[in-house]
Structures are given as structure tokens and as C-alpha cells.
Amino acid sequence: MDDLKLYEKNKNEIETLIHTVRIFSDDIGIEFGLDKCATITMIRGKLTGRGNIMLPNETEIHELEDNESYKYLRVMEADDIKQSEMKAKIRKEYIHSLMKELKSKLTAGNLITAINTWAVSLYRYGAGIIQWTKAELQQLDRRTWKLMTMHKGLYSRSDVDRVYVERDQKGRGLMSVEETVNYESHSLKKYTEGSPVEFIKTAGKIINTNSEDERQEYRNHQKTERKQNWNDKPMDGQHLRQTEDQAAKETWQWMKRGCLKRETESLIIAAQDQALRTNYRKAKIEKSTNDPKCRLCKQKDETVSHIVSKCSKIAQTEYKERLAFHREKVKLLWDFNVQTNKVIGARRPELILINKETKQCQVIDIAIPGDTRADSTV
């Protein structure tokens, strides 16, 4: 028995009710925690002082002063819920928890899991009770984004929708504070509507939601809308659209596992989303006067895909690096000219694996195209 809240019409009746609770508590071996007990008197919705309540053992339950509050189920209350106090407290705890996780050495996937578990969950508990405004929640999401960027958990120009898409759907898997509060408020509303207790139904009427969907339908709609917004963006969603039909499930295992360093994962995702400041992005997105053409070959638009696998100026230099790898039984040659008795034009294979024992060699040709050229290369 804990966290009891007693109501009566006058002081005599409340003293009788407290006496009944005290007898029951004594019978089961529980004592009153007087340091956590308090009383208030309200007449027509206004606080009215009636003094402390004396107990038979000559102790007393003190009456709250005008500027005091008490904690009931972790929520600060008096004549009403202390909205401002609770918001300030939750914000402070959220930022404190977020900073602890960002200062850790967790991998990218574990960092997101820790933030969702320890930081975002602080907002779940009071959802529907603490009256957050849309602007307050959006501001906190922006603060989260900024702090993660400062600690290399996000790239500054990464797509915001992809950050909140689940990891098994090729996103980062972070939970939005705004969406979390909206979902929990919606769930609480549905619970009160379905309750057989009339008092609970009445209490649920103060919870405002913007949807009549069932709980799971509402959550699925949130997820679908995020991914669709990401997919519809001309540059940020380009990689998703171009690889949707050709990328196997195993292609995205690195994302689902989340084992990379946060800096590495952020950079890869920024490259996929065309968020790196190439000439093409400067001209098309930032609306600068830069020429969108590649600064090396001057022929094609300087996109991430072009730099990684298409630029003719670095096709035979940066894309390749000669290598000789020796072991006792084998030797591996990379990008070496093969001396032949006859004139052969194409005599520089990607790899030559030489078996020193059998005196045999294998010629291996490798293609590593950009994601958008995988089908045509195969």
C-alpha cells in the first residue's frame, strides 16, 4: 500500500479516514512516512488554510503552504499539477542523461539505444498529464540534434527524417521526443476511453489527441510518414530510391547491428543522403553561384556518387593502389602488368593469386561500382 490520496468533505471526516488508514497500516506492519505526507484544504477551487492534522500518537501531518507542493507518483502537485516545475525538472534530467550518453564511448547503435532508453523515456511517463506544447517538444528535439552533432553522433546536414526511421528500415532509430509524447498521450486517451470505470473515462477527457486511430495504427502511421518524407526528398532520399530494388537484406546489416563508431556511421549516412558539401549540393540546395560540375574532371555534376566511382580523373589513381602481398605458399599481386610473349592490350588484371607450391596462378577481376550502378555492372 503506497501513494494514497484521501478526499473528504471536511476536516472531521478526513481525520476519521486517516485514522482508519492508520489502523490498517498498523495491522500490516507499515508506518506513515510523515515526511512525505501533506494536507490541503480547498473550498470552491481555492486553497484555504485549516491547519495541520493531529494523529493519536501526537505527531501531525503538516498543511502545505501557498508556495509548497508534494510529489504524487513522481508528479509535483498542490491544488493542481505544477506544470512549470515539472517541465523544468524533466528538461534538466533529460539533458543531464543525454550528455552522459554522448560523452560515453558507445558505438553508434548502442548510443541510440541508450538515448531512447534513459533520456527519451523521461518524457514517456508524464505524457498526457504534463501539458507539453508542440513548440516545446520540437525545441527539445532540435536541442537533441545540436548536442548529438557537437559530439559527432550526427552529421550537421543529415536528413532529419532518416534519423527517426527505425534501424531495420535503414534509418538511425532515434526516438523523437515529440512523437513519443504524442504516442503515449494517444495511448493513455484510448485506455481511459475503454475503461469500465466512469471516473477514469471522465478524467481522460482532458487529454487532447489529433487522431482517432487505434494505438498500433497510430504508431504505424508515425513510422510510415517519417520514411515517406525521407523517400520523397529529391537529394536526401535519392539513395533510398535508387537502391530499393537492388539492395539485398544483407546490404543493410551494418546499419541494423550498429557496430560502427558514431563518427563513421554519421559520415557514411551523410554521403548516402548527399549531405556532404559537394559543388552539386552548393549549387542546387544552398543556391550558391558555384559551378555544380566536378572540380577535377569538369565534365559531370560533382555528387558523392560521382566522386566515389565515376570521376575519370581519379579512375586510375585514387581508385587503385598497387600492392604485393607475400606469404610462404602464396603471393598476391594487385594491379600489376603481366609480361606476355604476344602483344595483349588488357594485361593488368585486378588481382593475380600465385600458388608457389603448384606453380599456378588465378586471374581475378573485381568490380566495385557505386550503389546506383550495381545492376549495370553485374
Lookup: cell for 248? 539485398
Where is pLDDT greater, at 204 or 141? 141
* Amino acid type, 33: G
Mean pLDDT, residues 213-230 = 86
Q: Tens digit of pLDDT for each residue in 82-91? A: 889 999 999 9
Query: Are 78 and 70 within 8 A, CB to CB?
Result: yes
Does residue 209 surpass a pLDDT of 80?
Answer: no
Query: Are 70 and 64 within 8 A, CB to CB?
Result: yes
Does residue 370 surpass a pLDDT of 80?
Answer: no
Q: Tens digit of pLDDT for each residue in 151-172? A: 999 998 889 999 999 998 899 9
Instruction: Determine the pLDDT at residue 61.
Output: 82
Angle between helices 134-150 and 83-102 (to 10 degrees): 20
Average pLDDT, whole number, for the chain? 84
Query: Could you tell me which residues come within 8 angstroms of residue 341 by beta carbon, excluding any fewer than 6 positions away?
Result: none
Reported confidence tier of residue 378, pLDDT bands at 50, 70, 90? low
Instruction: Determine the pLDDT at residue 361.
Output: 86
Mean pLDDT, residues 281-300 = 87
Percentage, residues of the chain above pLDDT 70: 92
Percentage, residues of the chain above pLDDT 90: 27
Query: Are 266 and 152 within 8 A, CB to CB?
Result: yes
Q: What are 147's strand-pairing partners? A: none
Mean pLDDT, residues 253-264 = 91
Mean pLDDT, residues 38-53 = 78
d(CA 290, CA 302): 11
How many CB atoms within 10 Å of residue 276?
Answer: 16
Query: Are 155 and 277 within 8 A, CB to CB?
Result: no
Does residue 323 surpass a pLDDT of 70?
Answer: no
Would the pTM count as exceeding 0.85? no
Where is pLDDT greater, at 354 or 344? 354
Each domain of the chain, given as residue ranges in start order, spans 11-77, 83-232, 323-377
Reported confidence tier of residue 191, pLDDT bands at 50, 70, 90? confident
